[in-house]
Amino acid sequence: MVRQLDYHTIREIFTRFRAAEAEPKGELDHVNAYTLVVAVALSAQATDAGVNRATKDLFKIADTPQKMLDLGEEALIEHIKTIGLYRNKARNVMKLSRILVDDYCGEVPNSRAALESLPGVGRKTANVVLNMWWRYPAQAVDTHIFRFGNRSGVAVGKDVVAVERAIEDNIPADFQLHAHHWMILHGRYTCKARKPVCAACLIRDLCEFEEKNL
């Protein structure tokens, strides 16, 4: 495991990220908090592009919990059957929609605990929704962020919770809101799993990745 980078190095890294893209955006299409919850829940073990294709027409007709319930599980499956684990995901979407209608007056709650109580919504999904919709500096650690954090030394940890804590503890407060987006995009397009594009990396001189010069 690489060493955790110091404050000044991390500040320089995120200064460069911000200079390259001041307002990074998530890549899942959505129109409101509810469709964001659904999209993120569907994205487990699936690509954002694949989820966007599946939800393009779905969200035109079912953009609220009640509309999703009115659509029904079988019709939902027809929209999302190109996504992995679609039957289980459809079941969870219907269950969480029912809970939102019955317990939250059709509104998506904005506490992590309430979000995590919904079927199919884990800590990562809750953090994405808190960050993207309510602009709360929650850190949603996925495989890209976990890899980049540990390779670079930006956020070192043995599991996703440890990496989440490392982001919160080590990245300066003025970068916290967009930190997970900068990290996920860098991990997805530059610090790739098999063939990281180190030659084109804007933080190569600051990174702790031992194989970057190979």
Tell me which of 63, 67, 102, 124 is the catalytic residue. 124
**Is 142 in the active site?**
yes
Per the CB < 8 A criterion, the answer to whether 212 and 198 are in contact is: yes
Distances (CA, A) of 54 to 15, 38, 48, 158: 36, 11, 10, 34
Distances (CA, A) of 52 to 66, 122, 134: 21, 20, 21
SS (H, E, C) 143-194: HHHHHHHHHHCCCCCCCHHHHHHHHHHHCCHHHHHHHHHHHHHHHHHCCCCC
Cα of 121 vs its chain's centroid, Å? 12
Q: Residues near 61 by Cβ (< 8 Å), separated by ≥ 6?
A: 67, 71
Tell me which of 103, 142, 169, 212 is the catalytic residue. 142
Per the CB < 8 A criterion, the answer to whether 140 and 134 are in contact is: no
Per the CB < 8 A criterion, the answer to whether 154 and 2 are in contact is: no
Give the whole-angstrom CA distance, residue 138 versus residue 4.
20
**Is 60 in the active site?**
no
Catalytic residues: 124, 142
